[in-house]
C-alpha cells in the first residue's frame, strides 16, 4: 500500500490479510489462493503489509476493550492516511470488526468478506468458475459465526460452492442454527473449560454425518478447528477441509 | 336488593389490581437499577420487531411443535380475556352475561371461547407431558431444579384449572338455561360445555346455581391470583415480551458496543499533543468502572431481559459450550441476573430504599468465571431466543470487568493480549514477517 500511495496510485480495494492469514501456515495458503484469484481477475488491490496490525477482535471478545480500541485507532489512522474506501478480507472476525465496530471509532469503509467479493467478481464476469475437479463432489459448508449469524451472510459462500458443480450438502445445524467451531470469543487462544467434549469435535461429527468429501470453510479459525476435528476422528485421509478461496483457485488450477 | 356480592366483588377486584400495581411499581424500580442506555433510535424498526416477534410469535415457530402449542395458549388467553371483561362488569353491577344482547355475535364469541378453552387444555396437557414424562433435555438442566421446575408446572396447573372452571361455569349456566331458571336467559352457544352439562342432570335448580356461582367466583379470583403470580414467575414474559422485543438489539448481531469511556482515554493516550502529566480537571467524575460485576453495572435493558426470560432454554440447547458439557448456560446467566436483581430489590425494601452492601455480587456469587470464559461469543443464544434476549452482552460486560478491573483473564488469554500489544498479532510472531507469504506465491 505504501508503495502505491507514494507513487500516487490508489488501488480499488485493500486486502486485509489478518493475523492468521499472515502468520499461520495453514491460513497463509488461503491468503495465497485468494491473491491468485485477485491477480487472475486483474483486480487492483493492495495490502498494508507490515503496517497492518491485529484488528483487536480477540482482545475485545476477551474483555479487553482498551487494547481493542488502541488497535482499532492505530489501524484506522493508517487506513485513513491511505484514504482507504473499500476493504476485503478472508477472515470473518476481521470482517465483522472492521465493518461494525470501526465506524464508531472513526473508520468507515465498505467492508466485504472474500466470499461476497468473489461472488461479485463472478457476477461481473471477472472470474469464471467451472467445476473442474470438484464436479459432483460432496461438499458441506460450515457457517462461520461471525459471517453467518453475526452478519447474516449465508448465501454468498453457498452460491460459490454450487457454481463449482459440486453437490452441496447441509449439516443438521446450518445457517442461522449453525454450530460454532469453538474458536470464537478468544477460545482459539486458550484451553477449553472443563466439559465432556471439545466444540470442534462436536461440529466435525455433524459435518461427517453428511458424508462429505470436502468440508468447506470461510474462516481461517474455523479451518483450523475443523481440520483438528477431522484429525481427531482420524478421517484426514478421506475428508479435507478447504477454504472457499482455495476451492475456486484449485478449480481453476491457479 | 342485596348488594353484598357486588361489594365483595369490588373488594376482591381492588385488592387484586392494587397488589398488581404494586408489583409493577417494584418491577419498574428494580429495572431502573440498571444503567441508562439510549434506545430511542430507529422507532419504526423497533415497532416492527415487536409486532413480528412478540405479537406475531415468529421466533416461536422455529420449533414447530412447541411453537404451535404456544400459539394456541397465547391466542386462547388473549381472546378469553374478552370474557373476563364481561365477568368484571357483571360482578360490579350484579348483572348476568351483560353482553348477551349482542345476539349471534355473542353466540359466536362464547362458542369460540369454549373451543379455545378446550384447545388450551389440550396444549397445556401436552406441555406438561413434554416437561414431566418425555422430560425434554432443555427442561431438566441443573438450573431448572427447584423453584423453576415447580413454577413451570404450577403455571400449567393454574391454566388448566382456570379453563376447567370456565367450562364448568358455562355448563351449569347452559343447564340452568335449559331449565328456564330466572336470571339465566338463554344466551350464548356452548359447543364444548354442553357435553359437560349432562353431568349435572337431575340436580336441583338451587344446587345448579351454587355450582355456577362457585365456578364463576373461583374463575375470576383465580385470574386475579394468576395476575399477581406473574411477578414471581417466568410467566412475567406475557407482559414483558412486548417491551423487551421493542428494546431488543438492532443491527448486526456481531456488532458489540464500543465503550465511550475507553475511547476518551485511548484518544488521550494516542494524541501526541496531550500532556500525560496534566492534572485531571477539577470536575472530573470518578473514573468509570469498566464492565459489570453486579446488576447495577448492567443496562436497564439487560435487566429487563432478565425479567422477560421465559426459561424456555432454547438458548442453552443451541449453545456450543453447553452442548459439549461446559458449565455455561445462557439461560442460567439470565436467571442468575434476575435472582440477583430480586435480592437487591429486597435489600432496598428492607432498608427504606437505600441499598446496604450485602457483600455479594452477580459475579462469583451467582455467575462463576468458569461459565464466563466458556463462551465462544457465537450468538447462537441470541438467535435462538424467542423474545430478543441477549445473554451474550452480559457475558461480555462481565469479562470486561474481569479483564479491565481485575486483570483476571485466563493466563492463555493474557499471553494472547500481550502478543497483540507487543507485536500486533495474537501470536508471538515478528511484525516484520507479516508479508512473508508473498515470497511463497
Ligand atoms: S454466545 Fe456464548 S452463551 Fe451464547 S450460545 Fe454462544 S457460547 Fe453459548
Ligand atoms: S434467554 Fe430467551 S431463549 Fe434463553 S431461556 Fe430465556 S427466553 Fe428462553
B363 touches A at CB < 8 Å: no
What are A176-198's pLDDT values in tens digits?
Answer: 999 999 999 999 999 999 999 99
The closest of B144, B162, B55, B157 to B331, measured between CA atoms, is B144
Q: What is the pLDDT of residues B405-423, one digit of tens each?
A: 999 999 999 999 999 999 9
Residue A105, all three cell numbers: 471509532
Task: Flag if A62 and B326 touch (Cβ within 8 Å).
Answer: no
Higher pLDDT, A8 or B200: B200
A180 shares a domain with A200: yes
Residue B398 Cβ < 6 Å to ligand 1: no
CATH number of domain containing A180: 3.40.50
- Output the residue whose Cα is nearest ligand 2's atom 6: B309
A145:B252 CB<8 A:
no
Residue A47 shares a structural domain with residue A90: yes
Same domain, A190 and A104: no
Number of domains in chain A: 2
Residue B374 sits at the chain A interface (C-beta within 8 Å): yes
pTM: predicted TM-score of the whole model, two decimal places = 0.94
Query: pLDDT digits over B160-210, tens only?
Result: 999 999 999 999 999 999 998 888 888 889 999 999 999 998 899 999 999
Whether residue B276 has pLDDT greater than 60:
no
Give nearest CA residue, ligand 2 atom 3.
Answer: B385
Q: What are the counts of helices (DSSP H) followed by strands (DSSP E) for chain B?
A: 17, 0
pLDDT tens per residue across span B338-370: 999 999 999 999 999 999 999 999 999 999 999
> Domain B260-430 adopts which CATH fold?
Fumarate Reductase Iron-sulfur Protein; Chain B, domain 2 (1.10.1060)
Is residue A5 very low, low, confident or very high in pLDDT (cuts 50, 70, 90)? Answer: confident
Residue A179 shares a structural domain with residue A242? yes
Domain end (from A119, A148, A172): A119
* Phi then psi dihedrals of residue B199, to 5 deg: -60, -30
Query: What's the pLDDT score for residue B82?
Result: 85
- Maximum distance among all Cα pairs of chain A, rounded to whole angstroms: 57
Q: Are residues A29 and A74 in the same domain?
A: yes
Q: Measured in angstroms, how far is the CA atom of residue B42 from the centroid of ligand 1?
A: 27
Nearest CA among A131, A140, A221 for reference residue A175: A140
Tens of pLDDT, residues B254-271: 999 999 989 988 988 887
Strand A45-46, strand A138-141: pairing: unpaired
Query: Is B349 within 8 Å of chain A by CB?
Result: no
Q: Please, what is the angle between helix B300-308 and helix B237-247, to 10°?
A: 140
Give one DSSP letter per residue of B221-288, joined into a string: HHHHHHHHHGGGSGGGHHHHHHHHHHHS--S-TT-PPPPHHHHHHHHHHH-TTS-TTPPPPTTPPPPP
| % of chain A exceeding 90 in pLDDT | 89
Same domain, A230 and A196: yes
The CA distance from A124 to the nearest CA of chain B, in Å, is 26
Q: What confidence score (pLDDT) does residue A8 get?
A: 81
- Asked if A6 and A69 sit in the same domain, the reply is yes
Looking at chain B, the whole-number percentage of residues with pLDDT higher than 90 is 86
Within this chain, do residues A98 and A132 fall inside the same structural domain, yes or no? no
In chain A, how many H helices and how many E strands?
11, 8
- B80 confidence band (pLDDT: 50, 70, 90): confident
Report the distance separating Cα B278 and Cα A172, nearest Å: 59
**Domain identity same for A100 and A173:** no
A60 in the same domain as A149: no
Instruction: Examine the pLDDT at A253 and tell me if it is beyond 90.
Output: no
**Position A162 pLDDT exceeds 70:** yes
Please say which residue of A92, A119, A146 terminates a domain. A119
Q: Domain span at residue A11? A: 2-119
The CATH code for residues B4-31+63-246 is 1.20.950
How much is the pLDDT for A254? 73
pLDDT band (50, 70, 90) for residue A133? confident
In A, minimum Cα distance to B377 occurs at A185
Determine the pLDDT at residue B234. Answer: 97
Q: Is the CB of B315 under 6 A from ligand 2?
A: yes
From the CA of B330, give the closest atom in ligand 2. Answer: 4
B435 interfacial to chain A (CB closer than 8 Å): yes
The answer on A184 and A216 residing in a single domain is yes
For A104, the closest chain B residue by CA position comes to B258
pLDDT in tens, A40-61: 999 999 999 999 999 999 999 9
* Structural domain boundaries in chain B: 4-31+63-246, 260-430
Report the alpha-carbon distance of residue B20 to residue B16 in Å, rounded. Answer: 6
User: Would you state the pLDDT for residue B441?
Assistant: 80
Are the beta carbons of B53 and B386 closer than 8 angstroms? yes
Does position B137 have pLDDT exceeding 70, yes or no?
yes
Rounded to the nearest integer, the mean pLDDT of chain B is: 93
Binned at pLDDT 50, 70 and 90, residue B278 comes out as low
In this structure, the answer to whether residues A147 and A113 fall within a common structural domain is no
What are the tens digits of pLDDT across the range A202-214?
A: 999 999 999 999 9
Q: How far is A248 from chain B (nearest CA, A)?
A: 16
Mean pLDDT over all residues of chain A?
95
Across the interface, of B318, B404, B426, the residue whose CB is closest to A189 is B426
Residue B336 near ligand 2, beta carbon < 6 Å:
no
3-state secondary structure A160-184: HHHHCCCEEECCCCCHHHCCCCCCC
Give how far A182 is from chain B: nearest CA, Å: 6
Amino acid at each position: 500500500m505504501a508503495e502505491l500511495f507514494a507513487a500516487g496510485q490508489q488501488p480499488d480495494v485493500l486486502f486485509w490479510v489478518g493475523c492468521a492469514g499472515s502468520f499461520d501456515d495453514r491460513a497463509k495458503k488461503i491468503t495465497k489462493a485468494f491473491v491468485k484469484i485477485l491477480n487472475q481477475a486483474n483486480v487492483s488491490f493492495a495490502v498494508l503489509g507490515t503496517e497492518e496490525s491485529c484488528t483487536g477482535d480477540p482482545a475485545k471478545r476477551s474483555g479487553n476493550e482498551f487494547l481493542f480500541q488502541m488497535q482499532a485507532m492505530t489501524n484506522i489512522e493508517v487506513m485513513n492516511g491511505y484514504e482507504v474506501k473499500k476493504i476485503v478480507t478472508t477472515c470473518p472476525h476481521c470482517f465483522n470488526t472492521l465493518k461494525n465496530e470501526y465506524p464508531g471509532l472513526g473508520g468507515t469503509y465498505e467492508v466485504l468478506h472474500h466470499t461476497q467479493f468473489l461472488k461479485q467478481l463472478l457476477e461481473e464476469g471477472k472470474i469464471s468458475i467451472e467445476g473442474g475437479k470438484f464436479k459432483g463432489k460432496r461438499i458441506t459448508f460450515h457457517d462461520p459465526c461471525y459471517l453467518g449469524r453475526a452478519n447474516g451472510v449465508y448465501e454468498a459462500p453457498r452460491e460459490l460452492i454450487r457454481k463449482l458443480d459440486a453437490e452441496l450438502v447441509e449439516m443438521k445445524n446450518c445457517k442461522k442454527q449453525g454450530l460454532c467451531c469453538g474458536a470464537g470469543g478468544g477460545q482459539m487462544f486458550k484451553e477449553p473449560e472443563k466439559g465432556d467434549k471439545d466444540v470442534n469435535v462436536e461440529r466435525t461429527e455433524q459435518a461427517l454425518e453428511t458424508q462429505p468429501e470436502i468440508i468447506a470453510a470461510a474462516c481461517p479459525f474455523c479451518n483450523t478447528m475443523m481440520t483438528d476435528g477431522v484429525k481427531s476422528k482420524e478421517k484426514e485421509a478421506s475428508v479435507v477441509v478447504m477454504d472457499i478461496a482455495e476451492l475456486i483457485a484449485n478449480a481453476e488450477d491457479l | 336488593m342485596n348488594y353484598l356480592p357486588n361489594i365483595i366483588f369490588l373488594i376482591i377486584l381492588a385488592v387484586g389490581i392494587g397488589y398488581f400495581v404494586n408489583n409493577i411499581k417494584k418491577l419498574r424500580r428494580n429495572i431502573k437499577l440498571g444503567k441508562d442506555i439510549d434506545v430511542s433510535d430507529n422507532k419504526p424498526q423497533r415497532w416492527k420487531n415487536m409486532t413480528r416477534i412478540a405479537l406475531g410469535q415468529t421466533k416461536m415457530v422455529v420449533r414447530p411443535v412447541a411453537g404451535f402449542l404456544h400459539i394456541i395458549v397465547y391466542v386462547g388467553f388473549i381472546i378469553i380475556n374478552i370474557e373476563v371483561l364481561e365477568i368484571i362488569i357483571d360482578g360490579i353491577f350484579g348483572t348476568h352475561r351483560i353482553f348477551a344482547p349482542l345476539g349471534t355475535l355473542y353466540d359466536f364469541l362464547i362458542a369460540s371461547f369454549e373451543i379455545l378453552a378446550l384447545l388450551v387444555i389440550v396444549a397445556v396437557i401436552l406441555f406438561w407431558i413434554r416437561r414431566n414424562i418425555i422430560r425434554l433435555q432443555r427442561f431438566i438442566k441443573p438450573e431448572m431444579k427447584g423453584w423453576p421446575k415447580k413454577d413451570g408446572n404450577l403455571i400449567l396447573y393454574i391454566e388448566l384449572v382456570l379453563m376447567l372452571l370456565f367450562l364448568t361455569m358455562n355448563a351449569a349456566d347452559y343447564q340452568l338455561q335449559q331449565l328456564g331458571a330466572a336470571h339465566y336467559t338463554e344466551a350464548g352457544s356452548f359447543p364444548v360445555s354442553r357435553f359437560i352439562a349432562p353431568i349435572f342432570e337431575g340436580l336441583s335448580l338451587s344446587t345448579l346455581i351454587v355450582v355456577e356461582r362457585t365456578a364463576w367466583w373461583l374463575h375470576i379470583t383465580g385470574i386475579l391470583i394468576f395476575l399477581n403470580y406473574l411477578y414471581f414467575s417466568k410467566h412475567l414474559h406475557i407482559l414483558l415480551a412486548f417491551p423487551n422485543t421493542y428494546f431488543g438489539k438492532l443491527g448486526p448481531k456481531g456488532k458489540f458496543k464500543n465503550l465511550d469511556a475507553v475511547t476518551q482515554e485511548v484518544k488521550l493516550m494516542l494524541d501526541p499533543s496531550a500532556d500525560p502529566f496534566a492534572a485531571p480537571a477539577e470536575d472530573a467524575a470518578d473514573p468509570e468502572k469498566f464492565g459489570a460485576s453486579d446488576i447495577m453495572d448492567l443496562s436497564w435493558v439487560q435487566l429487563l431481559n432478565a425479567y422477560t426470560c421465559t426459561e424456555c432454554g432454547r438458548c442453552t440447547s443451541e449453545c456450543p459450550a453447553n452442548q459439549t458439557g461446559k458449565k455455561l448456560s445462557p439461560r442460567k446467566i439470565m436467571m442468575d441476573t434476575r435472582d440477583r436483581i430480586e435480592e437487591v430489590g429486597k435489600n432496598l425494601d428492607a432498608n427504606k430504599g437505600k441499598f446496604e452492601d450485602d457483600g455479594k455480587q452477580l459475579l462469583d456469587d451467582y455467575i462463576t468465571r468458569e461459565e464466563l470464559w466458556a463462551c465462544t461469543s457465537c450468538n447462537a443464544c441470541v438467535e435462538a431466543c424467542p423474545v430478543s434476549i441477549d445473554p451474550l452482552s452480559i457475558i461480555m460486560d462481565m469479562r470486561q470487568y474481569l479483564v479491565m478491573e481485575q486483570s483476571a483473564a485466563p493466563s492463555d488469554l493474557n499471553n494472547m493480549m500481550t502478543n497483540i500489544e507487543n507485536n500486533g498479532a495474537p501470536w508471538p510472531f515478528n511484525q516484520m514477517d507479516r508479508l512473508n507469504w508473498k515470497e511463497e506465491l
